[in-house]
Amino acid sequence: MASEIDRTGTPLVELSDLCKAFGGINAVDHVSIDLYPGEVVGVLGHNGAGKSVLMKMLSGALSRDSGEIWVNGEKAEINSPRDARRYQIETIYQYLALADNLDAAQNLFLGREIVTPLGFVDDAKMEAETRKIMGRLTPNFRRYNTPVAGLSGGQRQSVAISRAVYFNAKILIMDEPTAALGVEETRMVAELIDELKKQGIGIFLIDHDIHQVKALCDRASVMKNGQLVGTVEVDKVTEDDLLGMIILGKKPEVAA
Amino acid sequence: MSDSTRSVSEPTRTTKRNLLATLEIDTRLLGMIGAFIAVCLVFNFLTDGRFLTPRNIFNLTIQTVSVALMATGMVFVIVTRNIDLSVGSLLATCSAIMAMMQTVVVPNVMGFGLEHPLIAPLAVIVGLAAGAVIGAFQGWLIGYLTIPAFIVTLGGLFVWRNVAWHLTNGQTIGPLDNNFQLLGGINGTLGETGSWVFGVLAVAATLYALVAARRSKVRHDFQVKPVWAEVVIGAIATVAILGFVAILNAYDIPTRRLQRSFEDQGLVMPEGYTAGYGIPYSVLLLILVALVMMMVARRTRLGRYIFATGGNPEAAQLSGINTRALTIKVFMIMGILCALSAIVASARLTFHTNDIGTLDELRVIAAAVIGGTALAGGVGTIYGAILGALIMQSLQSGMAMVGVDAPYQNIVVGIVLVLAVYVDIVYRKRTGS
C-alpha cells in the first residue's frame, strides 16, 4: 500500500497518554497513538494486549482512567457511545453490534431512529434508506424483513458497515472486520476500506492477520501487555519485524 | 467496490406463494387461535353447549382482563431478559391503597363523605402512582444496583403482599365506591347501542389502518400483498369485531335487575322490555391498554430499545441506549399495569381482600409464555400474551363447568404451560426462526 499520507497537518485523532486499569492490572498503560485523514492504522497485539480496550475508550464503550482524546485538534469529551457518535466516530464490531432479533433497517438505525412528526418510528422510511445504502454496498442483498440472525456473516457485516457509511463516519474503528468472513467477503471489505480511505476517512483496524495488516494498513501500532511497543510504517518493515514486535515486544531498527 | 457483485443476476422471485404467506398472517398467531377455538369447542361439547353461550363468553372476557392486563407488561419484562414475580403482590398493595383511599382517606380524612364523585378518580390516581413508583423502584434496584430481577421481585413477592396486609390491618375492605365498581366488569357495561357504536368505530379504525399501511408501503415502492388478500383480512377483522359485540349484546340483563334500575329512576318497566349488557368497561380498558402497548412495542423508540436490549444487551448499549434507565421504565410500566389490574380485580369483587391477586404472578408469566414470549429475551408479542391469558382462563373455567376440582385444574394448567413451550420450541426449530 502506497503511503502518501500527509502527516504534516493536524491528526484526525490523537490518543494521548491513555490509561485504563481493571483491578490493579494495567490493561492500557500510557498509550499514545494518532491517526490522519485517509489513513489506516492497524492496532496489533496478542489477545489481552489491550488493543480492544484502547479502541473501546475511543468509541466510548469504556471510560478512561486518565489521558486525553483529541479529534481534529480539539479536545474531545467522550464518555459514552453517544458522545463518540457526535464526533462521527463509528465502530464496527465483529460479534457485538447487532441485535439478532431485529431486521437490517432496525439495526442500522438503532439508537438513531427516524421518527415521524408524532414521534413514532418511521419504519417504512428507514427501510427505504436502508435499501438505498445497502443497495450501493451489496447490490444483491434482499432480506430486508428478516431478523439479522438469519443473515450470513458477510451480510451482517455489511449491515454494520452500511451503518457507519450512512451516518458519515469520519473515524472508523474496525474490530477484526473479516474474522468471520469468507474469501470473497473479505475482498469486499478490503475494497470498501480502500474506498473509505479515498473519502478521507481515518480507520483504526484491529486485526490478528499479519498479511491483512500489510495489505490494508499504512501504519501499525503494536501493543504488548498494555503498553505500546511502537508504531511503524508497514511498508518499511517486514512481516517478521511485525511478528517480533507482537511476540517479543522488540522494536525493529527502522522505526517510523 | 461492487463491480463483481453487480453482474450477479437478480434472483427470480418465487411467484408461487402459499395462501398464508400471501395474506402475511403470522402462522404462530394462527396456531394459537386454532388452539383457543379447539379448547372452546371441546368444552362446548363436554358441557352440552353451555360453554359457548353469550353469558359464559361474557364471564370469560371479564375474568381474563386482570391477568391479560398484566401479561402485556410482562411481555416487555421478559423480552428484556428479566422476570417479575411480584405482580400479584404488587396488585394487592395497589388494591389495598385504593381501597383505603375509598373507604377511609377520601371520605373521612379529607371529609368528602362516602359516594362522593371524587372518590373513584382520586383512588385510581393514587393507586396508579403507587404502582408506578413501586415498579420504578424495583426497576432501579435491578438496573442500577444490578441485583437480579428474579431476586428483587422474589423479595417483592413477600414484601408487597404483606404491605397490603399491613395497610388494611389484615381486614377485608369494602364495599368499594359505586363509581369505582364500574370498572369491575358486570357492574359497568356500555349497553347495546354504545357497544354497536364502539364496534362500528373499531371496524372503521381497523380498515383505515389497513389502508394507511398499504399506502405507506406503496409510497416507498415496497412489495404489497394483492388487493384480495387485504380485503380478506379486512373482512375477517370486521366479522370478528362485530361478532364479538353481537355476542356480548346478546347476554341479557336479568329482568329483575332491569326492573330495579327503572324503579330507581321512578319509572315502570314496559312489558317485555329486554336489554343486553354489551361490552364491559373493563374489557374496553384491556382493548385500550393492548392498543397502547402494541403501539409502544412497534412504533416507538422505547419499544424498539426494549426489543433491541432483549436481543443483544451489549449491542444496545454500544448503540447509545441507556439500558439501565430502560429497565426502570419497563418495570414502571409493569407497576402501572399491576395497579390497573388491581382496579379491575377489586372492583369485580366489590371488596379488597387479603388474598387478592394471589398466584397471579404465575398466571401472568404463563400467559406471556404461552403467548410466545421467549424467556431468553428479545421475542414476544402483546396480542400473543392476551391470547395466552384467554386460553388459560378458558381452560380453567371450562374445567370448572365440567366439574373438575380446582387442584386438578391446576395440574392441567401446569401441563399445558410446559407443553405450549415445547410446541413453541419445535415450531421455532422447524421454521428456523
Query: Got the DSSP string for B80-114?
Result: TT---S-HHHHHHHHHHHHHHIIIIIIIIIS---T
A102·B311 Cβ contact <8 A: yes
| Preferred mutation among A101, A126, A129, A136 to probe B, highest tally of B CBs within 10 A | A101
CA–CA min distance A82, chain B (Å): 5
Give the gap in angstroms from C-alpha A77 to the nearest C-alpha of chain B: 15
- Cβ B8–A139 below 8 Å, yes or no? yes
Q: Tally C-beta pairs within 8 A across A and B.
A: 106
Tell me the sheet residues that pair with A13: A35, A71
State how far residue A170 is from chain B, nearest Cα, in angstroms: 17
- One fold for both A8-50+63-87+226-256 and A91-200? yes
Can you tell me the mean pLDDT for A80-106?
87
Residue A254 predicted with pLDDT over 70: no
For CA atoms A101, A104, A110, A116, give the dihedral sign: negative
Domain ranges of chain A: 8-50+63-87+226-256, 91-200
A150 touches chain B (CB under 8 A): yes
Chain A residues whose beta carbon lies within 8 Å of the beta carbon of residue B316: 99, 110-111
- Does any CB of chain B come closer than 8 Å to the CB of residue A30? no
Burial class (CB in 10 A: 0-12, 13-18, 19+), B156: buried
Do residue B304 and residue A115 have CB atoms under 8 angstroms apart?
no
Q: Which helix (H) or strand (E) holds A70?
A: strand A66-71
Q: Mind listing the pLDDT tens digit for each residue in B59-82?
A: 999 999 999 999 999 999 999 999
Which residues, at least 6 apart from A211, have a Cβ–Cβ distance to it below 8 Å? A239
pLDDT of residue B341: 97
Cβ B308–A106 below 8 Å, yes or no? yes
Q: Which three cell numbers stand for residue B251?
A: 347476554
Quickly list DSSP for B146-197: ---HHHHHHHHHHHHHHHHHHHTTT--B-PPPHHHHGGGSTTSB-HHHHHHH
- Contact list, B304 vs chain A (CB under 8 Å): 102, 106, 110, 113, 121
Average pLDDT, stretch A100-116? 92
Specify whether the CB–CB gap between B311 and A101 falls below 8 A.
Answer: yes
Of A100, A115, A137, nearest to B311 by CB-CB distance is A100
Helical ranges in chain A per DSSP H: 51-59, 81-86, 104-108, 123-137, 153-166, 183-198, 210-216, 239-248
Interface contact flag, A91 B318, Cβ < 8 Å: yes
Strand-by-strand arrangement of the A202-206 sheet = A89-92, A171-175, A202-206, A40-44, A219-224, A227-233
pLDDT at A255 over 70: no
Q: What distance in Å separates the CA atoms of residue B305 and residue A170, rounded to the nearest whole number?
A: 26
Select from B11, B310, B318 the Cβ nearest to the Cβ of A101.
Answer: B310
Q: Which candidate, B96, B165, B74, B112, places its Cα nearest to that of B381?
A: B74
- At A253 the pLDDT is 67
Buried b or exposed e, range A206-221, using 16+ CB within 10 angstroms: bbeebebbbebbbbbb
Distance CA B93, CA B354 (A): 9
Gap from B154 CA to chain A (nearest CA, Å)? 29
Do residue A96 and residue B432 have CB atoms under 8 angstroms apart? no
Q: Strand, coil or helix: what is A251?
A: coil
Between β-strands A89-92 and A74-76, what pairing exists: parallel, antiparallel or unpaired? unpaired
Rounded Cα–Cα distance for residues A186 and A192 (Å): 10
Residue A162: Cβ within 10 Å count: 24
Is residue B221 scored above 90 in pLDDT? no
Q: Which residue type does B78 have?
A: I
Strands A219-224 and A13-22: unpaired
**Which chain A residues have a beta carbon less than 8 Å from that of B379?**
101
Could you tell me which chain B residue has the CA closest to the CA of A134? B2
What residues of chain B lie within 8 A of the CB of A193, using their CB?
none
Out of B202-216, B298-312, B338-352, least confident range:
B202-216
A108: Cβ–Cβ under 8 A, 6 or more apart, which residues? A126, A129, A130, A133, A134, A159, A162, A163, A166
Task: Give the best residue of B8, B79, B218, B220 to mutate against chain A (max A CB count within 10 A).
Answer: B220
pLDDT at res. B14? 44
pLDDT digits (tens, 9 = 90+) for B371-420: 989 888 899 999 999 999 999 999 999 999 999 998 998 898 889 889 88
ipTM of the complex: 0.83
Residue B17 has pLDDT above 60, yes or no: no
Confidence of residue A89 (pLDDT cuts 50, 70, 90): very high
Indicate the pLDDT class of residue A95, thresholds 50, 70 and 90. Answer: low
With 0-12 / 13-18 / 19 or more C-beta atoms within 10 angstroms meaning exposed / middle / buried, residue A96 is middle
Cβ atoms within 10 Å, residue B362: 16
Report chain A residues whose CB lies below 8 A from the CB of B318: 59, 61, 81, 91, 93, 96-97
Residue B33 pLDDT > 50: yes
Looking at residue A77, the DSSP 8-state letter turns out to be: -
Q: Using the predicted structure, report yes or no on whether residue A54 has a pLDDT greater than 70.
A: yes
Pairing between β-strand A40-44 and β-strand A66-71 as defined by DSSP bridges: unpaired
For A110, nearest residue in chain B (alpha carbons): B319
Q: Which residues of A touch B291 (CB under 8 A)?
A: none
Q: How confident is the model at residue B90 (pLDDT cuts 50, 70, 90)?
A: very high
Over pLDDT 90: what percentage of chain B? 62
pLDDT value of residue A181: 76
Amino acid at B408: Y
Chain B nearest CA to A205, separation (Å)? 18
A21 burial (CB, 10 Å; 0-12 / 13-18 / 19+) is middle
Does residue B8 register a pLDDT over 60? no
Put simply, the chain A residues between 197 and 256 with a CB less than 8 A from any chain B CB are none
Distance in Å, alpha carbon of A229 to nearest chain B alpha carbon: 29
Interface of B with A (CB under 8 A): 1-2, 5-6, 8, 10-11, 216-217, 219-222, 295, 299-301, 304-305, 307-312, 314-321, 378-379, 432-433
Smallest Cα distance from B12 to chain A, Å: 11
- Cβ-defined contact of A127 to B379 (cutoff 8 Å): no
Q: Three-state SS across A192-207? A: HHHHHHHCCCEEEEEC
Chain-chain contact of B378 with A81 (C-beta, under 8 angstroms): no
Other C-beta atoms lying within 10 Å of the C-beta of residue B273: 11
CATH class of A8-50+63-87+226-256: alpha beta
CA B235, distance to chain mean position in Å, is: 24
- Whether residues B220 and A97 touch (CB distance < 8 A) is answered with no
| CB neighbour list of residue B87: distance below 8 Å, 6 or more residues apart | B70, B73, B74, B334, B338, B341, B357, B360, B361, B364
Task: Provide the 8-state DSSP code for B363.
Answer: H
* Chain B residues inside the 8 Å CB shell of A121: 299-301, 304
Short-list B389, B282, B337, CA closest to B84 = B337
Residues pairing with A256 in the sheet: none
By C-alpha distance, the chain B residue nearest A92 is B318
Strand-strand pairing, A13-22 and A25-35: antiparallel
Interchain pair B378, A101: CB under 8 A: yes
Q: Model's pTM, two decimal places?
A: 0.87
Query: Nearest-CA distance from B231 to chain A in Å?
Result: 22
Task: Give one word for A72, left, alpha or beta, with left for phi > 0 and alpha for psi -120 to 50.
Answer: left
What average pLDDT does the segment B259-269 reach? 82
- The grid cell for B358 is 394471589
pLDDT over 70 for what percent of chain A? 96
* Residues B283, B58: Cα–Cα separation, whole Å: 10
**Residue whose C-alpha is closest to residue A236's, from A219, A224, A212, A215:** A219
- The rounded distance, in Å, linking the Cα atoms of B73 and B306 is 12
Cell numbers at B345, concatenated: 380485580
- A19's enclosing H/E stretch is strand A13-22
Task: Tell me how close the Cα of B77 comes to any Cα of chain A, in angstroms.
Answer: 16
pLDDT the model gives residue A248: 85
| Residue A194 forms contact with B (CB below 8 Å) | yes
Report the CATH superfamily, name and number, of domain A91-200.
Answer: P-loop containing nucleotide triphosphate hydrolases (3.40.50.300)
| pLDDT grade for B16, boundaries at 50, 70 and 90 | very low
* Pairing label, strands A202-206, A171-175: parallel
Residue B5's pLDDT is what?
39
Q: Do B295 and A120 touch (CB under 8 A)?
A: yes
Residue located via cell numbers 362446548: B44
